[in-house]
Structure 1
Amino acid sequence: MIRRAAVLFLAALLPVLAGAGQAGAAGYRYWSFWERDGSAWTYATVGPSLARPADGDVQGFRFSVSEDSGDAAKPRGTADFDAICADTPAKDGTKRVALVLDFGTPADAPSGERPPAGRTACARVAEDATTAEALASVAKPLRYDSNALLCAIAGYPAKGCGEQVATGGRTSDGETSASGTERTGTETGAQDDGGSGPSVGLIGGAAVIVVLGAAALWQVRRRA
């Protein structure tokens, strides 16, 4: 009897503990930088201020929430150099770089903002120009933080830079969506319901199950 009661108690407690782990998942809202490799996007290994694309390269930027580069959402839309730069002829002493700008989904947008429609642009810049310079030539205003992290392209988003946020489920196309309350780097306590930390309701529920489970075990031992 005691063993059976213990098993039932743990069976009731495990889903609550599992929910607590899922509620603690967090990601960051930021512009990710991508390079086109043949017919696929690859996450860039250096920042746009260091990358120096060649004439004919295709590069992309995607605004989204992701936990790390492994699950970052890729740019959507046309990624063909000939199509993007069809109306920009070659010119001596310059290079052309095709840029794909994906402003993300409403689910990943900061509170009170709505993402602009995605677009492409063909930047014709000096032969030694960086990706950041190419981007600045076609998508101003850009905004950077004190650590040179790209915070906004074409003014989006209007504020914020790399905030930590709670992550929700996956969208229909497998991309991570955001939910809950934004957190700054100085916030370390538990959040309210909907935040990135365990919710008050979840913790309370777990406490109730623990108390009830302990009471059940005590009753079984008493009868035995």
Structure 2
Amino acid sequence: MTPGPAASRPARRTLRAGFALLLGLLAAVLLAAPAQAAGYRYWSFWEREGSTWSYATQGPAQLRPDDGSVQGFRFAVSAEADDSAAPRSKAAFAKICEDTDERAGRKRIALVLDFGTAADAPGGERPPKPRTACASVEEDASTADALAAVAPPLRYDSSAMLCAIDGYPAAGCGEQVPGAGKPSAEASSDASPGTEEADSGSAPGGGGPSAGLLVGGGAVAVLGVAAFWQSRRRRG
């Protein structure tokens, strides 16, 4: 006996509900997938207390550090200030300025210059090795003054953003880098191609199922519903 139209309606309603569930699941997965945020390539400015680096809350032209201060600059690609990579050197003021004598009417500022990694470098450029320097400057000098004394040439853009230290990089200033991940503060500037770990196929911080797996599971569920109602129709 062939089921009539009334008997097939529940099956059609169930199939429609199943497909709606699949579409909803797909939309949820696509919305939940984290977008690959664009990053920016620039020099970040840091202050150090003890062995801890803190992102500076003033620009180098505004900040007038005390004698004995340690200031740092790091070139890297990052999306947000709290994602920025700090300078990698832990050298103390006493070590950086050990060969610079105290002078009346002047102050000594220890500077850590980290030119970043090859991965952060603009195309065609290779970052210089990180270095430290001790600037002996006037008592009212800013960090920018200290930097100009030990790492020329400096380059600024029209909005006074620091673009280059010691001539690096040769061009560009805070340009956007699409799909940039978080910088690695521990990455070596001497790292060569082929030394990075192979892609495991997992998303960073994995542990959750992939979008393909979730959508595939939804499709299997819908097919299961269809098969169930088809078998009931045959038995009827």
* TM-score normalised by the chain length of structure 1: 0.72
Q: Check conservation: 2:85, 2:183, Cα contact below 8 A.
A: no
Aligned to 2:22, what secondary structure does the other structure show? helix
Code of the aligned partner of 2:51: S
State the number of aligned residues.
180
Kindly indicate whether residue 18 of structure 2 is the aligned counterpart of residue 4 of structure 1. yes
- In structure 1, distance between residues paired with 2:185 and 2:58: 27
Q: 1:74 aligns with which of 75, 86, 96?
A: 86
Give how far 1:53 is off.
Answer: 1.0
Q: Check conservation: 1:55, 1:95, Cα contact below 8 A.
A: yes
More strand by share: 1
Code of the aligned partner of 2:16: I
Q: Check conservation: 2:77, 2:180, Cα contact below 8 A.
A: no
Q: 2:108 aligns with which of 91, 96, 100?
A: 96
- In structure 2, distance between residues paired with 1:147 and 1:67: 20
Q: CA 1:133 to 1:30, structure 2 compared with 1: closer, same or farther past 3 Å?
A: same
Give how far 1:34 is off.
Answer: 0.7
- In structure 1, distance between residues paired with 2:29 and 2:120: 28
When Rg is computed on C-alpha atoms for both structures, the one with the higher figure is 2
Give how far 1:68 is off.
Answer: 1.9
- In structure 1, distance between residues paired with 2:163 and 2:93: 26
Aligned to 2:181, what secondary structure does the other structure show? strand
Kindly indicate whether residue 87 of structure 2 is the aligned counterpart of residue 49 of structure 1. no
- In structure 1, distance between residues paired with 2:63 and 2:184: 33
Which aligned pairs between 1:134-213 and structure 2 lie closer than 5 A? Answer: 134-170=146-182
Give how far 1:10 is off.
Answer: 3.7
Give how far 1:170 is off.
Answer: 4.2
For 1:180, the equivalent position in structure 2 comes to: none
Q: 1:133 aligns with which of 118, 142, 145?
A: 145
Give how far 1:144 is off.
Answer: 0.3
Kindly indicate whether residue 126 of structure 2 is the aligned counterpart of residue 107 of structure 1. no
For 2:203, the equivalent position in structure 1 comes to: none
Q: Check conservation: 2:77, 2:120, Cα contact below 8 A.
A: yes
For 1:22, the equivalent position in structure 2 comes to: 35
For 1:191, the equivalent position in structure 2 comes to: none
- In structure 1, distance between residues paired with 2:149 and 2:186: 32
Root mean square deviation, CA, Å: 2.6
- In structure 1, distance between residues paired with 2:32 and 2:186: 22
Residues 141-193 of structure 1 show CA distances to partners (whole Å, capped at 9, x for unaligned) of: 00001111100000001001111222433466578xxxxxxxxxxxxxxxxxx
Code of the aligned partner of 1:139: A
Unaligned runs of 5+ in 2: 1-14, 188-214
Q: Check conservation: 1:58, 1:79, Cα contact below 8 A.
A: no
Q: CA 1:173 to 1:4, structure 2 compared with 1: closer, same or farther past 3 Å?
A: farther
Give how far 1:93 is off.
Answer: 1.4
- In structure 2, distance between residues paired with 1:165 and 1:58: 30
